[in-house]
Amino acid sequence: MAALTGVVLAVLGLRLCCAAAAVPLVIWHGMGDTCCNPLSMGYIKKIVESKIPGIYVLSLKVGSNLIQDMKNSFFMNANDQVREVCSQLAKDPHLKGGYNSMGFSQGGQFLRAVAQRCPSPPMLNLISIGGQHQGSVYGFPRCPGESSHICDWIRKTLDVGAYMQAVQEHLVQAEYWHDPLKEDDYRKNSIFLADINQERGINETYKKNLMALKKFVMVKFLNDTMVDPPISEWFGFYKSGQAKETVPLKETSLYTEDRLGLQEMDKAGKLVFLGVKGDHLHFSEDWFYTSILPFLQ
């Protein structure tokens, strides 16, 4: 009897241990940022760890150092970045049971590409904070370091030829540049966004993998001056052929044709749309604790 009791207690203890383990979190920063900036991703990592004791947080670094990580956010082919991150995740023993993910700005759409292309280890919840899912930065109103030569050069390059092969291959922002006045050029020549948004045909694997998410949380900044149009953060976009009137996700062909599974996910209660007052990536700690932390616990 004593031996049996011991076995039962051991099993119960194991269950309590496993039930209490926090789900790991993977973070991907945005354009011009780095994995470990103490004022951005480093700070997010710190406050998550303070609120969820024992959680493993991986803030993604693409490159061998912080300078490369920052430069790669501008100049490393997005498909190569996603491939590199998929490799990192597959090799990380902390993630083998599954993980939550949280992407900031372009990091949000990059993590969506990870969900669609790399289902192992499994992504459980995807939180996109200001991610431009229907294309973004049309007109490129501003970017980190308003006076920097990098931003000026990018603007000029995009204006000259965002859909030129050489630009697509080597400029990240061109790879999710969606010009509503040049839809045919976008569908034909976009090497990243048009692919993950199923613009050239249906990849059933992409659809299946995205639909495996428990929750897909999309945060839109209600006073965003960085993303044009801001509704892209909720998967909406401009009506085709003009750049004034926008349509919400439910009125897009992506949703009505359910090319990505978003309609089915919406009906299942898997899509969450959050709005927060403020400019791009400007939010309070209290809002983060109240609105985002529940999806990580």
Q: What are the domain boundaries of the chain?
A: 25-295
CATH class for the domain made up of 25-295:
alpha beta
What is the spatial distance between Cα 255 and Cα 268, in angstroms, rounded to a whole number? 14
Rounded Cα distance, 161 and 140, in Å: 13
The pTM for the full model equals 0.89
Active site residue 280: yes
Q: Which of 29, 133, 178, 280 is catalytic?
A: 280
Contacts of 42 (CB under 8 A, 6+ apart): 35, 36, 59
pLDDT in tens, the chain (297 residues): 445 444 444 444 444 444 558 999 999 999 989 999 999 999 999 999 999 999 999 999 999 999 999 999 999 999 999 999 999 999 999 999 999 999 999 999 999 999 999 999 999 999 999 999 998 756 555 665 544 577 777 777 887 789 999 999 999 999 999 988 889 999 999 999 999 999 999 999 999 999 999 999 999 999 998 888 999 999 999 988 888 899 999 999 999 999 999 999 999 999 999 999 999 999 999 999 999 999 998
Active-site residue, selected from the candidate residues 224, 228, 258, 291: 224
Q: Are 59 and 27 in contact (CB under 8 A)?
A: yes
Catalytic residue among 105, 128, 136, 190: 105
pLDDT for the residue numbered 228: 87
